[in-house]
Structure 1
Amino acid sequence: MPLRIELKPNERLIVGPCAIRNGPRRAVFIVETDHKVLRESEIVREAEADTPAKRICVALQRAYLVDDPFDAETQFMTLANAVMAAAPSTTPYVAAIYERLSAGDPYRALKAARDLVAFEERLLDCQPAA
């Protein structure tokens, strides 16, 4: 089934190994073949990955986009174990991500990681300033 994507002006899109940036006006694209697609709103850039949950998102993006996700999935496991050790309350979120990843659905794992990022933000908001 084709995927219809509407891009805002200057919005980025990753289709397979290609990064695309829209021009100054809205545009509509139809992806007719089965390719991996990430919209700019779904992308966490490495430079912006300033928390453990965001670094997990970067690893999951790699696992989704590359042909051989072994290294990215290994990085996810390392990061996830560290996050759960530091904050055991994150375990259900990490388990949901792992469940989707082990089922062979890295895109849904990446989507589930958004819940982890939101939870982490709530945890960090409760922390007293140092």
Structure 2
Amino acid sequence: MALRIELKPAERLIINGALIRNGDRRSVFLVETQCKFLRESEIIREADADTPCKKLCVTLQVIYLADDQAEAENLFVMQSTEILKTIPGAAPYLVAIHDAVAAKQYHLAIKTGRKLIANEEELAA
């Protein structure tokens, strides 16, 4: 089954490590093979990762897109441990993220990471 991706004008998309930018009109693509992709709206740039939870989400993106995930997975474990020390209430999110990564459900891990960031922002407010 093909994956339908609709891009807004000038929206970016990463497919298998290649950065693609849409032209000046909406476009629809059908991806007919298995690939790694992230839409611009899903991406947190490293420069924008100014909190521990955002840094963890950047690591999740690297795990997803990297060919060799071992180093990034080790970083993920260290970051998770540090987050647990400062935000014990983050445990359910981190367990869910860990389970998703272990099952190679990277989009689910990234989506749960967004919820973790929202929780972090809620606690900071």
- Same fold? TM cut 0.5: yes
2:81 aligned partner? 81
Task: State the Cα distance separating 1:32 from its structure 2 match.
Answer: 1.0
Identity %: 50
CA distance, structure 2, for counterparts of residue 12 and residue 121 of structure 1: 26
Superposed CA deviations along residues 7-65 of structure 1, whole A, max 9, x for unmatched, are: 00110100011010111111111111100111011000000101111100100000001
Q: What TM-score do you get using the length of structure 2 for normalisation?
A: 0.96
Could you tell me which residue of structure 2 aligns to residue 29 of structure 1? 29
Q: How many Å apart are 1:95 and its aligned residue?
A: 0.9
Matched with 1:62 is 62
Counterpart for residue 39 of structure 1: 39
Stretches of structure 1 that go unaligned for 5 or more consecutive residues are 126-130
- 1:107 corresponds in structure 2 to 107
User: CA offsets per residue over residues 79-99 of structure 1, 9 Å max, x none?
Assistant: 110000011111111111011
Paired residues, what number? 125
Matched position secondary structure for 1:104: coil
Q: TM-score scaled by structure 1? A: 0.92
SS of residue in 2 equivalent to 1:6: strand
Structure 1 residue 104: Cα displacement: 2.4
What residue is the counterpart of 1:50 in the other structure? 50
* d(CA) in 2 for partners of 1:16, 1:24: 23
Q: Between 103-112 and 16-25, report the one with greater CA deviation.
A: 103-112
Let me know the Cα RMSD of the aligned residues: 0.9
Distance 1:51 1:61 in 2: 16
